[in-house]
């Protein structure tokens, strides 16, 4: 088994000022696919429902996009997360990094 970096990016779909979805799911997916195709990085993506406590004290629940990435460089992932936050007009996105062991069977 190979030890390799696994990243997860979680990004909400609601515009941070208008509290509505301005970018539809297909536009978002197209942008992500283009990025990973250009970088030749393996990924998977799915839609989820999540919630968080906003800094103003409100609990917010929204649809989120979750992206799993195996074997990319930290710099590529941070750059993508920042670009996605700007594209979706989010205050931020969450990036999680784990070291995992992989094996194709």
Residues 19-59 have pLDDT tens digits of 888 888 898 899 889 988 998 888 999 999 988 888 889 89
**Contact yes or no for 68/7 (Cβ under 8 A):** yes
Is the residue at 3 inside a domain? Answer: no
Among 105, 23, 35, 30, residue whose Cα is nearest residue 69? 35
Secondary-structure percent of the chain, ordered helix, strand, coil, rounded to 5: 30, 40, 30
Whole-model pTM: value is: 0.84
Among 70, 99, 65, 61, residue whose Cα is nearest residue 81? 65
Q: Which domain holds residue 33?
A: 14-64+71-100
Query: Based on the structure, what is the number of domains in the chain?
Result: 1
Is the residue at 2 inside a domain? Answer: no
Q: Could you report the per-residue pLDDT of 67-89, keeping only the tens digit for each?
A: 999 888 888 899 889 988 998 88
Q: How far apart are CA 71 and CA 98, in angstroms?
A: 11
Is the residue at 60 inside a domain? Answer: yes
């Amino acid at each position: 088994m190979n030890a390799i970096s696994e990243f997860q990016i979680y990004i909400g779909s609601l515009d941070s000022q208008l509290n509505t979805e301005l970018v539809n799911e297909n536009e978002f997916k197209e942008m992500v696919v283009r990025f990973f195709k250009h970088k030749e990085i393996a990924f998977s993506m799915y839609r989820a429902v999540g919630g968080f406590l906003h800094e103003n004290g409100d609990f917010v629940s929204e649809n989120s996009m979750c992206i799993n990435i195996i074997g990319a460089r930290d710099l590529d992932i941070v750059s993508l997360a920042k670009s996605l936050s700007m594209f979706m007009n989010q205050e931020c996105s969450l990036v999680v990094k784990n070291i995992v062991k992989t094996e194709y069977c």
